[in-house]
Amino acid sequence: MDINSINIEEIVKQVLSGMTGNAPVSGAAPAAAAGSVPKTAHVAVLTEKEHFEIREYPIPPVGDDDILVKVEGCGVCGTDAHEFKRDPFGLIPVVLGHEGTGEIVAMGKNVKTDTAGNPVKLGDKIVTCMIFKDDPEITMFDLNKKNVGGADVYGLLPDDDVHLNGWFSDYIFIRGGSFGSTFFNVSDLDFDSRMLIEPCAVLVHAVERAKTTNILRFNSRVAVQGCGPIGLICIAVLRTMGIENIVAVDGNEKRLEFARRMGANATVNFKDFPGGVEALAGGVKAAFKGHLADFAFQCTGNPVAHANIYKFIRNGGGLCELGFFINGGDATINPHFDICSKEITTVGSWVYTLRDYATTFDFLRRAKGIGLPMSDLITDRFPLSEINEALKTNLAMTGLKIAVVNK
Ligand SMILES: [Zn+2]
């Protein structure tokens, strides 16, 4: 080993900082391959609307409760696209990316387990979930009442002096202690599955909400409207639950074909029914061999689609509306015909709980086990240096899931 003056200077610094009680990572976790952790990281900062800039920042010292993760990749979410185009959350300048995964390359000595209580070590692959600043002691087992509405996430945090706050980067800094970070060891899932965890958790949550109606059963006829990534994953979750009678509705033949590969046994292209919603409902009924749906999932952000879906559902059926993640405008329905006289049971679904994450890991294993083409959902992969193109591709809606990958 070639100990030169720089090494010695480093060692002296470490010893000194250890004496002050503010030990950097190499002192706290000797197994950390100090040589493999660079001094700086690159992050994609959204500096103005429709413009990311790659910036280099020093990697802060990893404290006793912190984790430094080398980012492998991160999915592009609709939320990222909204922020890129319009900055509705007023976060600029911001490092986006919350559907990321990567490898622990350094961690403080107090980090022993993930949020589920499973052990973690250097080299493990993790994902982050919500940040509970107001309740850092929270565990995943008392969370049924909480969804992300009351929490922050990495990738939607305002910029600060740490900077490494989002997954569109080559390193992300997971802060421990009272910061309230939650994270999971997902080393047993493949790379693509790990990038799909967050959107899949949205569907696991939606199906849990749907189950509260007591209408969704193994033999239910289920309509899924909207075959973007969310609708397609909805079909996958239903299939892994053993629901087989699924009709997918969309206006894009390519997406409908994917819906069939994902397990829908019939599809309806609304463009084949220019005569209006009654004709379209007739198409859905024909796809169910003469029956309306027992239950429907509305997975588009289009108010007309919301208004239409009631016509696809039988009397006494159920509906889960999850397409309006953000305000998509008002929808006009007729409460008498659409809800009262049909006695429709409706639930809304938004984001997920921490608890849903654990269910999602199982779902992804089952989906792989029964051969669903989950990886094919990721249609476009861009290096970090081309993140502007990645976001523009997402907005163009030419693919399905877009990912930014570092490997
Ligand atoms: Zn997302």
CB atoms within 10 A of CB 223: 28
- In whole angstroms, give the CA distance from residue 130 to residue 184: 11
Give distance in angstroms: CA of 78 to centre of ligand 1: 7
Residue 26 in this model has a pLDDT that exceeds 70: no
Residue 262 in this model has a pLDDT that exceeds 60: yes
Give distance in angstroms: CA of 230 to centre of ligand 1: 10
Residue 21 in this model has a pLDDT that exceeds 60: no
Q: How confident is the model at residue 133 (pLDDT cuts 50, 70, 90)?
A: confident
CB atoms within 10 A of CB 389: 15
Residue 264 C-beta-side C-alpha neighbours within 13 Å:
27
Q: What is the mean pLDDT of residues 285-292?
A: 98
pLDDT at position 138 is 58
Distances (CA, A) of 354 to 7, 132, 185, 245, 361: 43, 11, 14, 30, 12
Give distance in angstroms: CA of 89 to centre of ligand 1: 14
Structure tokens at 351: 């984001």
CA-closest candidate to residue 314, choices 297, 333, 298, 294:
294
Give distance in angstroms: CA of 364 to centre of ligand 1: 16
**Domain topology for 200-348:** Rossmann fold (3.40.50)
pLDDT mean across residues, the chain: 90
Q: In this structure, are residues 260 and 267 in contact, taking their beta carbons and an 8 Å threshold?
A: yes
Q: How confident is the model at residue 23 (pLDDT cuts 50, 70, 90)?
A: very low
pLDDT at position 135 is 66
Give distance in angstroms: CA of 142 to centre of ligand 1: 23
CA-closest candidate to residue 199, choices 41, 402, 12:
402
Give distance in angstroms: CA of 137 to centre of ligand 1: 24
Distances (CA, A) of 323 to 59, 62, 234, 303: 38, 39, 11, 9
Q: How confident is the model at residue 150 (pLDDT cuts 50, 70, 90)?
A: low
pLDDT at position 5 is 40
pLDDT at position 31 is 42
pLDDT at position 235 is 98
Q: What is the pLDDT of residues 48-84, one digit of tens each?
A: 999 999 999 999 999 999 999 999 999 999 999 999 9
Domain limits, the chain = 25-188+374-405, 200-348
pLDDT at position 151 is 75
pLDDT at position 25 is 40
> Residues with beta carbon < 5 A to ion ligand 1?
77, 198
CA-closest candidate to residue 205, choices 125, 118, 321, 317:
321
Q: How confident is the model at residue 274 (pLDDT cuts 50, 70, 90)?
A: very high
Structure tokens at 217: 């059963």
Q: How confident is the model at residue 147 (pLDDT cuts 50, 70, 90)?
A: low
Q: What is the mean pLDDT of residues 104-112?
A: 97
pLDDT at position 8 is 41
Q: What is the pLDDT of residues 311-342, one digit of tens each?
A: 999 999 999 999 998 889 999 999 999 999 99
CA-closest candidate to residue 254, choices 376, 348, 132, 101:
376
pLDDT at position 142 is 52
Beta bridge partners of 44: 54
CATH number of the domain located at residue range(s) 25-188+374-405 in this protein: 3.90.180.10
327 or 310: whose pLDDT is higher? Answer: 310
Give distance in angstroms: CA of 247 to centre of ligand 1: 25
Residue 368, burial from CB neighbour count under 10 angstroms (0-12, 13-18, 19+): middle
pLDDT over 90, % of the chain:
79
Give distance in angstroms: CA of 76 to centre of ligand 1: 7
Give distance in angstroms: CA of 206 to centre of ligand 1: 14
Q: Among the listed ranges 84-88, 137-141, 194-198, 362-366, which one has the minimum average pLDDT value?
A: 137-141
CA-closest candidate to residue 349, choices 149, 195, 120, 160:
149
pLDDT at position 224 is 98
Q: How confident is the model at residue 137 (pLDDT cuts 50, 70, 90)?
A: low
The alpha carbon dihedral of 378, 379, 383, 385 has a sign of: negative
Q: What is the pLDDT of residues 169-188, one digit of tens each?
A: 999 999 998 898 999 999 99
41 or 133: whose pLDDT is higher? Answer: 41
Give distance in angstroms: CA of 351 to centre of ligand 1: 9
pLDDT at position 354 is 83
